[in-house]
Amino acid sequence: MASVRSLTRGWSSAPVLLGGMRAASPRPLRVFAPGRSRVVARLVRLAPRAAFVAATLVLLLVGGLVAFRNAYGDRVYPGVAVGDVPVGGLDRDVARALVAERAAVLGNQTVSFTHGDRTWTADLADLGVSVNVEASLDAAHRLGREGTAFDRLHSTFDLARSDRTVPLSVRLDLQTLGRWLDTVDAEFGPVPRDAALVVKGRAVSVEPEVEGAVVDREAIRQRVIAAVQHFGAAVEPLPIVVKPPTVRVADLEDARTRIEAALARPVEVVHQDQRWQLASEDLGRFVRQSVDPAKPGADAVTVGLDQKALAGWLAERFTAEIDRDPVDAEIGWNEGPVVVTPAEDGLKIEAEAFARDLEVAFFAGERPVLVPIPVTVTKPAVDGKNLDALGITTLLARGDSNYDGGTPERDINVEVGAVLLNNTLVPPHSEFSFNHAIGEITVDNGFVESSVVEGERVGRDIGGGICQVSTTVFRAALLAGLPITEWWPHNYRILSYEYDGWGAGYDASILQPEGDPFGGSDFRFENPSDSWLLVESWTDGTHVIVNIYGPDLGYDVQFSDTVFGGPYPHGQADIEVVNPGLPAGTVTQTEWPLDSSEATFVRDVYGPDGKLLYSREFHTSFRGRGNVFQVSPDMAGQSPAAG
């Protein structure tokens, strides 16, 4: 090995100047003794082996942990307990059953409170104590499965050294506890009470304060929690506190004088040109006092009106007289849309705001005070002030049907239906409903009893003949090229619908079931445009006419010839119907045989560019029938249908 001198040869012991500055002395070399150098060299040779051994141990440890976790899968790790219930190594269902059983036992455990010679006892469940079994299991299951690798490793070694206990997840319902304590307060003695104002009619009195003792609820809460934590029944002294009243009789003198002055005069309210006087005693029923315990004496008292109760009373009192739905302007056609009946705004009383305004007026120093009733105004969809905005510019199509030869009652129903349908507006991109357009078919709306098709028979009902009007709307909508969204043909062929050259199948039936007038079959079509549609209808004594107006859609509507199938033998037997309304000795035929048949036509609608928009086949299967005879009760079995 070279000497120290030879290792330092070539270095001057004098400082060297660099750039006019003294250079630092060179860093001295470390000199190792020969024996120490051999030890270091040996350590250097052994270091890779030690690292290999350490890595192997780490891999074995990690592998063991992985195998450990895989072995326990969804089970709780060993050494874990929920409260005093060991659940280590158990799967979730078994652990749940054990914890739930312990929770039930805990709920049945009692806690008792004594005062003097009296004792009050209740189950923990009756005091509002409940155990969240799932939350307790979740906490147990998370041990050893924490979010980070370090936390999981630390928790696993912790479990290996000693058992771990997670507390039961317990909830105390303070409302339930409070209700139980209310019963204790009531039994214990006089309940402390603040002095209170009492209003009866126009008379105002003061109910004196009462001093008393009550249960210390915070102390009770802590003792119930302690009983849960110790898993055992407890007997505790009942903690009592004396509660002096916050408000005494003298503190309410100014408030009593103020209310008496308020009750001496009525309050008047107004809406548009109507006025109402509210009796002061009616408003006095809603006088309430509130107390702020943080303030002393009279400063703690606030007197006002019960806003919620008063708003409910005002709504009940004035809604029928003020509230109304908005009414659209009725629009007709006279070489363009015209207003037939002006629109009306909708009104709805603002009961909460009304109550607030009345409270201010009730306690005002001077009367009379005139209080406007606040309302919300709702504008109608069609107000008639800007008819051009509706976009109704042209007649799209006209439908007609001949109802000549019907009974007077049927004619009445046809004409009433046309009047009710007239001037119906269909908003943009919405659906027309015939049943909703005419409303309920009732006597109150002008309909009478007449013949009506019911299934496969002809009977009598209110509104018989209304299908003459729905048929006419169907024809207008067909010719206008409007999409038909609901259509029901009649069950059997009615030849009168084919008057004036209309083919079979160009009819539409509707049905309003009793009790659900808008739940039966309907006729509907869609308004496919950005503008409104106007449905106009009237009768001339023999014909129903329906016009549909709207924007110029530019549709080209084409119909195929009607294709018939049949006739097919109806195969129906003759029927006798006993009608108690017929005079004695009556036998009359009401229906004649009709064979079954079919009728089909196709409508194609082309857009302004000549492209087909939609095509639809309208198919009707007409059913057949035999003879139908109606007889009075005394003639039952005497018609040809009886053989």
CA proximity to 292, closest of 247, 257, 359:
247
Find out whether 605 and 613 touch, Cβ atoms under 8 Å. Answer: yes
Q: What percent of the chain has pLDDT over 70?
A: 84
Q: What is the pLDDT of residues 511-532, one digit of tens each?
A: 999 889 899 999 999 999 999 9
pLDDT at 498: 92
567-580 residue pLDDT tens: 888 778 888 888 88
Mean pLDDT for 542-566 is 96
Mean pLDDT of 222-227: 82
pLDDT of residue 160: 63
pLDDT of residue 159: 65
DSSP helix/strand/coil, 267: strand
Residue with tokens 């107000």: 383
Residues 6+ apart with CB under 8 A from 456: 491, 492, 623, 625
Q: Above 60 in pLDDT, residue 12?
A: no
pLDDT at 14 over 80: no
- 396 has a pLDDT exceeding 70: yes
pLDDT of residue 1: 40
Q: Could you report the per-residue pLDDT of 21-34, keeping only the tens digit for each? A: 344 444 444 444 55
- Token duo for residue 324: 């109304």
- Percent of all residues in the chain with a pLDDT value above 90, rounded to a whole number: 40
pLDDT at 257: 87
pLDDT of residue 228 exceeding 90: no
pLDDT score of 231 = 66
Lowest mean pLDDT among 15-19, 29-33, 180-184, 207-211: 15-19
Specify the range with the lowest mean pLDDT, choosing from 56-60, 122-126, 451-455, 622-626.
56-60
pLDDT at 636 (0 to 100): 92
Q: What average pLDDT does the segment 152-164 reach?
A: 69
pLDDT value, residue 550: 97
3-state secondary structure of 74: coil
pLDDT given at position 90: 86
pLDDT interval class at 312 (50, 70, 90): very high
Residues 6+ apart with CB under 8 A from 486: 521, 522, 523, 524
Report the C-alpha gap between 441 and 419 in whole angstroms: 13
pLDDT confidence tier of residue 68, bands split at 50, 70 and 90: low
Q: What is the mean pLDDT of residues 198-219?
A: 85
What is the per-residue pLDDT across 454-498, written as a single tens digit (0 to 9) for each? 544 555 678 889 999 999 999 999 999 999 999 999 988 888 899
Give the integer Cα–Cα distance in Å for 38 and 415.
124
Mean pLDDT of the region 163-167: 80
pLDDT at 308: 95
Higher pLDDT, 327 or 120: 327
Which of these CATH numbers, 3.40.50.960, 3.40.50.880, 3.30.930.10, 3.10.20.800, describes 250-378?
3.10.20.800
Spatial neighbors of 430 by CB under 8 A, at least 6 apart, are 526, 527
Q: For residue 119, give Cα distances in angstroms to 112, 115, 220.
A: 7, 6, 14
Looking at residue 2, its pLDDT comes to 40
Token pair listed for 609: 């560019």
Examine the pLDDT at 345 and tell me if it is beyond 90.
Answer: yes
Residue (of 568, 529, 570) closest to 551 by Cα position: 529
Q: Which residues contact 19 (CB under 8 A, 6 or more apart)?
A: none
Confidence category of residue 39, pLDDT binned at 50, 70, 90: low
Structural domain boundaries in the chain: 69-191+215-239, 250-378, 391-553, 555-643
Average model confidence (pLDDT) for the chain? 84
Average pLDDT over residues 356-367: 84
Q: Can you give the pLDDT at residue 502?
A: 94
Per-residue pLDDT band at 546 (split at 50, 70, 90): very high
pLDDT, position 238: 84
| Inter-residue contact 470 to 431 (CB < 8 Å) | no
199 touches 287 (CB < 8 A): yes
Sign of CA dihedral 206, 207, 213, 214: negative
Joined together, the tokens standing for residue 91 give: 């799967």
Instruction: Please report the pLDDT score of residue 38 as a whole number.
Output: 62
Q: Name the H helices within 34-173.
A: 34-72, 92-108, 133-142, 149-161
Q: Is the pLDDT of residue 20 over 60?
A: no
